[in-house]
Amino acid sequence: MDEVFRALADPTRRRLLDSLNARNGQTLRELCAGLDMARQSVSKHLAILEQATLVTAVWQGREKIHYLNAVPINEIAQRWINRYDQARVEALADLKQALEGTPLDASGNPAFVYTTYIRTTPERLWQALTEPAFTRRYWAGHTFESDWRPGSTIVVTTGDGRIADDPDQVVLESDPFRRLAYTWHNKTTCDGGTPEPRSKVAFHLEDIGGLVKLTVIHDGFMPGSKVLESISRGWPRVLADLKTLLEVGDPAPLTMDSGDGDAP
């Protein structure tokens, strides 16, 4: 946590985080455009933010895309704000969110980004993401079955045994032990019952020696998305239980009536 406080102490780094909060998923060139500073200096600031896990970066082709990772800031809030008047702080945060809107991705759409570090291997983590025997242990009994080749369908079996056979839920990218992406169901609707566009979730695995850096990017949402609201509550719990399973053993049972919304 000391690294997080040190990273936040610099006003330039706070401006970079504000820029990513306003529009998530930017290249170094895009971030430099908003600062009167040499590219090399901005790169050094981003490296400090990455080291503090406040920013996570993913290579897409030849470009490095930077995303805000709010997990460390949320941990600070959990640890410190609870000692003070949390109800007032949350009310102000809700007002700020209502006024400023949801952070956007590079395409101008809402997105969810989460980075965690798991003491495992890329092979073992890939197995946990793709094998039904693993997913049912940390994902409220849900299983995901596919041959995990691009274009293949994914059959989801829910915790109560219902089979969600959706022909449009398909694998988009599959680079074993490095990257996996697939479409997400759109059964949740917005106001008026209009179905939402189908979203996409991508898992980026990076071996950093004894640990695997796992970045989850879930995007493709429309403004006011109920699916985004649901997965923003569900993903942190699912990923925490995945980490526990791989590092310790079976996590505590996750039930879908615990306020986590759709799976996630």
At 256, is the secondary structure helix, strand, or coil? coil
Q: Note the pLDDT of residue 189.
A: 46
Q: Note the pLDDT of residue 220.
A: 87
Classify residue 170 as exposed, middle or buried by CB count within 10 Å of its CB (0-12, 13-18, 19+). middle
Beta bridge partners of 143: 157
pTM comes to: 0.65
Q: Note the pLDDT of residue 205.
A: 95
Beta bridge partners of 109: none
Q: Note the pLDDT of residue 80.
A: 58
Q: Note the pLDDT of residue 95.
A: 42
The C-alpha atoms of residue 181 and residue 251 are separated, in whole angstroms, by: 25
Segments in the chain below pLDDT 50:
86-102, 188-191, 254-261
The C-alpha atoms of residue 196 and residue 187 are separated, in whole angstroms, by: 8
Contact, 16 vs 45, CB < 8 A? yes
Q: Which domains does the chain have, with CATH numbers?
A: 2-100 (1.10.10.10), 111-247 (3.30.530.20)
Distances (CA, A) of 27 to 53, 56, 114: 17, 12, 18
Q: Note the pLDDT of residue 98.
A: 39
The residue written with tokens 């970045």 in the block is 215
The C-alpha atoms of residue 22 and residue 18 are separated, in whole angstroms, by: 6
Q: Note the pLDDT of residue 181.
A: 96
The C-alpha atoms of residue 173 and residue 66 are separated, in whole angstroms, by: 20
Q: Note the pLDDT of residue 127.
A: 96
For the chain, count helices (H), then strands (E).
9, 9
Rounded to 10°, the helix 11-22/39-51 angle is: 80
